[in-house]
A and B are shown apart, each in its own frame.
Chain A
Amino acid sequence: QSALTQPASVSGSPRQSITISCTGTNSDVGGYNYVSWYQQHPGKAPKLIIYDVNKRPSGVSIRFSGSKSGTTASLMISGLQPDDEADYYCSSYSGDDTFGGCLFGTGTKVTVL
């Protein structure tokens, strides 16, 4: 089972909004509302920022929002801030023969210009 496809990099200026895509298939992203997003600063552990497509864990900024259309999920970061510079990974449940039903994305590096 291949990883979910994300753009390698996305950049934006402070206060702008950016969107990161996560493309899968009907066996994963398109078939279930079970998409999560993780933020990882350099040298740090990942942090859950979105689950179930568009739910935010307690304490996560409302500037992060998730959505899905067909086989593509998206993470939008609004009002971009310097601390948003990090790697972002999506994850989806997969109904195919994937260990634990868990498929990660390839990761996107966000740069704040």
Chain B
Amino acid sequence: EVQLVESGGGLVHPGGSLRLSCAASGFSFNSHAMHWVRQALGKGLEYVSVISSGGDRRDYANSVKGRFTISRDNFKNMVYLQMGSLRAEDMAVYYCARGRYDYGDYVVFDDWGQGALVTVSS
């Protein structure tokens, strides 16, 4: 059974930093691109970031480019999202998702974690 478990969410002041982690199990982790998708309270889904199966390619939505960094550890089956210079508009539930296809192919989110809530407030 595929499992994705996020951690690291919490309250952070505007301008602060936070690192989200996602522990993956139940599938061949190093064969899949991994993604982060966020959802503000009561709002729709926003695609945030992707990292290739090997970790050598990564990309970001314009809204977070230059402030967020995605990474992965294929030995530990972990994917991370380092978030910096956080703004009120970054406040959302962040979901880790397994891609059906690898980086560069069209995106289908096969499995999702339960989400990690990031609250940005002074």
**Which A positions have Cβ atoms within 8 angstroms of B?**
3, 32, 34, 36, 38, 44-48, 51-52, 57, 89, 91, 93, 99-102, 104-107
Contact = CB atoms under 8 A, between A and B. Distances in A.
Chain B interface category by residue count: 20 to 34
A93 B115 contact: no
Interface string B13-30: 000000000000000000
A48 B4 CA distance: 14
Interface of B: 35, 37, 44-47, 50, 59-62, 95, 100, 106-115
Interface core residue of B35, B46, B47 (most chain A CB under 10 Å): B47
Contacts of A52: 108
A34 B47 CA distance: 16
Contacts of A47: 112
A91 B110 contact: no
A48 B2 CA distance: 13
B44 A104 contact: yes
Contact of B112 (A46, A106, A107): A46
A51 B100 contact: yes
Contacts of A105: 44
Given A45-B113, A48-B108, A93-B106, A99 B47 contact: yes
Contacts of B45: 38, 46, 89, 91, 104, 107
Contacts of B35: 100
B98 to A, nearest CB: 10
A57 B110 contact: yes
Contact of A45 (B95, B100, B107): B95
